[in-house]
């Protein structure tokens, strides 16, 4: 049984504790922040050579912060909700004093002068940054590889991809580096690596987790969100990330408050699964899903079907999904990276270059059409969810493949349309702006983790988390579906990933 499914106080190593459990033990004086930090550092030092997930770190600063946390506890200070908890930070946002490279050779020597707003919020709640987690160059792509830090491998099989773009964050969680990590998601960058690594990744509704770095403010394709080893821990982290901040144009702030109660995410309500109307889809009617993924999904659905009040095969009408996503993604990449591609073509990788090229191939009329199609797409999704409470699907189109493959060029013998086409199971809901979560659900026929995706009504983030928590508890009791962590002994004994052929190449 994985750490995510364990009852309280059964973990033999503090590094395997969940966030809620570790926090409770600290309050009860059964665990110190220093002990937890030391355990997490030991885990990194024992296995990161095999997976390359935590690519920048200052463990002296971590231990210093842990000591300060323990002193606050000894004084009886009011403690933050995340007091003393280490967390990993995706290398797309700043931690003061650590590199922020974005996985780009152009920023290989960039040192952050201040904390990103998300990191500042986590620190204010008592959490301690453990270090930076790896991601593809500018988070472009579903394989965590770049020419600054190299590749990050799947901890369940180090010859395979951990997906991306929040791949380092998912691997860090799976290996027990920290109970919480940050991630971001455009076409599945939270959800895909969570699925590949057997962890939890939650993409919230646009604006729930505010950010001030959108290159195009009013296209809500990208958002940050929590990653954890359990839904409850993800909810706890979301309660801190869901802030009232007008810098994000999609974050509604009225009289200093948001319409959603952030504290409710930290104490998820029970949800009666037998009251739910559940739609089930293998492919949203358009995604190129691999046969073995379909097979495992059917197996999972068969086991879960009796839990629901009503469950049928159904999907929203996703007409033009591939075109909408490719055009809007292209616009975002041209706006952010076009100048870099022009000025430094040799220092920009193939995924970013291709997205800029594709973006520039679209006319103004193409963009107008895509925006209009997205509006109709959104309306169809709202009509669909008048009849259904949640939609359940596989999280990713494929099982993890060899990490040397930058992206799948074919799925079951059929060519893919682009380097991101295999992310279609995730961007189906991105286009409509609905909250979505991936939770572990057993292992496919390749022996690799399988992620179950749960999509809810727009702005029903609390409902999605509550349903996911109920399903997570049920899955933990089904032998054929129960998740478990990677083989740590095998990782400790594995050769250094940096010595593998192709480690730094794209």
Helix axes 350-361 and 321-343, enclosed angle (nearest 10): 110
Which residues are registered as beta bridge partners of 390?
Answer: 278, 456
Contacts of 383 (CB under 8 A, 6+ apart): none
Q: Measured between alpha carbons, how far is residue 270 from residues 147, 205, 412, 470 in Å?
A: 45, 21, 40, 7
Active site residues: 90, 165, 189
211 confidence band (pLDDT: 50, 70, 90):
confident
Residue-level pLDDT at 57 = 98
Nearest to 404 by CA among 502, 325, 271: 502
Find, among 461, 459, 458, 421, the residue nearest to 437 by Cα: 461
For residue 128, the model assigns a pLDDT of 98
pLDDT confidence of residue 4: 37
Model confidence pLDDT, tens digit, residues 275-310: 999 999 999 999 999 999 999 999 999 999 999 999
Domains and CATH numbers, the chain: 14-499 (3.90.1300.10)
Q: Which of 22-36, 101-115, 214-228, 322-336 has the lowest mean pLDDT?
A: 214-228
Provide the percentage of residues in the chain whose pLDDT is more than 90: 94
19-31 mean pLDDT: 97
SS3 217: coil
Q: Is the pLDDT of residue 179 over 60?
A: yes
Give the span between the Cα atoms of 57 and 316, in whole angstroms.
44
Whether 14 has a pLDDT exceeding 60, the answer reads: yes
**What pLDDT, on a 0 to 100 scale, did the predictor assign at position 11?**
75
Average pLDDT, the chain: 95
SS3 351: helix
How large is the average pLDDT for residues 115-141? 97
pLDDT in tens, 271-283: 999 999 999 999 9
Distance CA 91, CA 103 (A): 7
The answer to whether residue 10 scores a pLDDT higher than 60 is: no
Whether the CA torsion 141, 315, 417, 215 is positive or negative: it is negative
pLDDT at residue 44 in the model? 98
Question: What whole-number distance in Å separates Cα of residue 37 and Cα of residue 32?
Answer: 9
Are the CB atoms for 9 and 25 separated by under 8 Å? yes
pLDDT at 1 over 70: no
Contact 236, 81 (CB under 8 A): yes
List the strands of the sheet with 277-280, edge to edge. 54-57, 128-133, 86-90, 180-185, 223-228, 200-203, 436-443, 449-456, 390-394, 277-280, 310-313
The dihedral sign for the CA sequence 380, 205, 457, 438: positive
Smallest CA-to-CA distance from 453 within 467, 473, 432, 433 is with 467
- pLDDT score recorded for residue 336: 93
E-strand ranges in 44-101 read: 54-57, 86-90
Backbone angles phi, psi at 204, to 5 degrees: -80, 170
- Average pLDDT, stretch 14-27? 98
- Over residues 62-81, mean pLDDT: 97
Rounded mean pLDDT of 2-17?
A: 62
- DSSP, collapsed to helix, strand or coil, labels residue 436 as strand
Integer-rounded Cα Rg, in Å, for the chain is 21
pLDDT, position 12: 87
Q: Report residue 296 as tokens.
A: 């495992």
pLDDT at 5 over 60: no
pLDDT at position 435: 98
- Predicted local distance difference test score (pLDDT) of residue 217: 64
Whole-prediction pTM value? 0.97
């Amino acid at each position: 049984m994985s750490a995510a499914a364990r009852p309280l106080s059964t973990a033999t190593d503090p590094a395997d504790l969940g966030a809620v459990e570790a926090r409770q033990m600290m309050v009860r004086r059964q665990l110190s922040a220093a002990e937890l930090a030391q355990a997490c550092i030991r885990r990194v030092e024992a296995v990161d050579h095999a997976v390359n997930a935590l690519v920048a770190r200052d463990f002296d600063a971590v231990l210093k912060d842990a000591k300060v946390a323990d002193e606050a506890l000894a004084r009886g200070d009011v403690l933050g909700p995340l007091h003393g908890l280490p967390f990993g930070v995706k290398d797309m946002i700043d931690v003061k004093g650590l590199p922020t490279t974005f996985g780009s050779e152009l920023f290989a020597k960039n040192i952050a002068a201040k904390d990103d707003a998300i990191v500042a919020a986590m620190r204010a709640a008592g959490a301690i940054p453990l270090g930076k987690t790896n991601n593809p160059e500018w988070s472009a792509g579903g394989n965590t590889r770049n020419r600054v830090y190299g590749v990050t491998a799947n901890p369940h099989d180090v010859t395979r991809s951990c997906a991306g773009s929040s791949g380092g964050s998912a691997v860090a969680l799976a290996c027990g580096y920290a109970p919480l990590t940050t991630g971001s998601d455009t076409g599945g960058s939270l959800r895909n690596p969570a699925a590949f690594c057997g962890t939890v990744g939650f993409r919230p509704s646009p604006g729930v987790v505010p950010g001030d770095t959108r290159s195009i403010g009013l296209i809500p394709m990208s958002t940050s969100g929590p990653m954890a080893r359990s839904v409850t821990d993800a909810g706890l982290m979301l309660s801190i990330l869901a802030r009232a901040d007008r810098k994000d144009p999609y974050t509604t702030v009225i009289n200093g408050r948001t319409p959603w109660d952030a504290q409710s995410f930290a104490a998820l309500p029970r949800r009666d699964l037998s009251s739910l109307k559940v739609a089930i889809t293998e492919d949203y009617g358009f995604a190129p899903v691999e046969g073995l993924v379909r097979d495992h999904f059917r197996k999972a659905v068969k086991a879960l079907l009796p839990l629901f009040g009503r469950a049928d095969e159904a999907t929203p009408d996703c007409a033009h999904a591939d075109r909408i996503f490719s055009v809007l993604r292209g616009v975002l990449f041209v706006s952010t990276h076009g100048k870099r591609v022009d000025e430094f073509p040799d220092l920009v990788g193939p995924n970013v270059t291709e997205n800029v090229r594709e973006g520039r191939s679209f006319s103004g009329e193409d963009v107008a059409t895509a925006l209009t199609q997205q509006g109709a797409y959104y309306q169809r999704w709202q009509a669909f969810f008048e009849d259904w409470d949640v939609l359940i699907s596989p999280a990713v189109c494929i099982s993890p493949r060899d990490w040397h493959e930058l992206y799948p060029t074919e799925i079951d013998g059929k060519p893919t349309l682009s380097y991101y086409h295999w992310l279609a199971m995730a961007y189906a809901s991105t286009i409509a702006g609905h909250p979505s979560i991936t939770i572990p659900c057993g292992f496919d026929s390749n022996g690799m983790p399988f992620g179950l995706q749960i999509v809810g009504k727009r702005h029903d983030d609390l409902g999605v988390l509550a349903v996911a928590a109920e399903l997570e508890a049920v899955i933990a009791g089904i032998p054929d579906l129960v998740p478990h962590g990677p083989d740590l002994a095998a990782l400790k004994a594995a050769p250094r990933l940096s010595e593998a052929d192709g480690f730094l190449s794209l």
